[in-house]
Amino acid sequence: MESLKPIGWYLKEADSLITAAFNNAFESLGLTRFHWQLLRNIADNGEIYTKDYYPQVARFITPETFRAIITSLTDRDWISVHNDICRFTASGADVFASIEERQKHIRDKMLEGTDPEDYAHTVLFLDRIIQNLKTLPEVQP
């Protein structure tokens, strides 16, 4: 049996491939994985408050990129922004349904051959690692 690589390799490889798959699927729409995540959060919550949402993605994108994502979605009339609250426009809600179909296809392919329990156990395992490492003062991000 081939020896396993360190966990960090798998984490980075999976994240890189997930990002590439979503970026490729959304490229024809001029969207990235981060556009999708913002749209998904609006769909899940009805709206997002940018000052609460940005800290969740700050590790991955700059404030300038975040503003560019918001601007690109407002310029398309997919979202409206009032008092830092983002909501779908009527056309945005319609477009989201179409984009969601692309996302579901990738997610289904990504999780092919796995069980929901595999996903849940993996997330819990990674969360435990994160929580354990956060207790080390020298590891604070």
Domain ranges of the chain: 7-110, 114-141
- Is residue 85 within 8 Å of residue 48, measured between CB atoms? yes
Q: What is the DSSP letter of 63?
A: H
Give 27-85 pLDDT, tens digit per residue: 888 898 899 999 999 999 999 999 999 999 998 999 999 999 999 999 999 999 999 99
Cα gap 29→6, rounded to integer Å? 36
Cα gap 88→43, rounded to integer Å? 8
Closest residue by Cα to residue 88 from 42, 41, 40, 36: 42
pLDDT of residue 25: 86
Whole-model pTM: value is 0.75
Backbone angles phi, psi at 32, to 5 degrees: -120, 175
Q: If you classify domain 7-110 with CATH, what class do you get?
A: mainly alpha
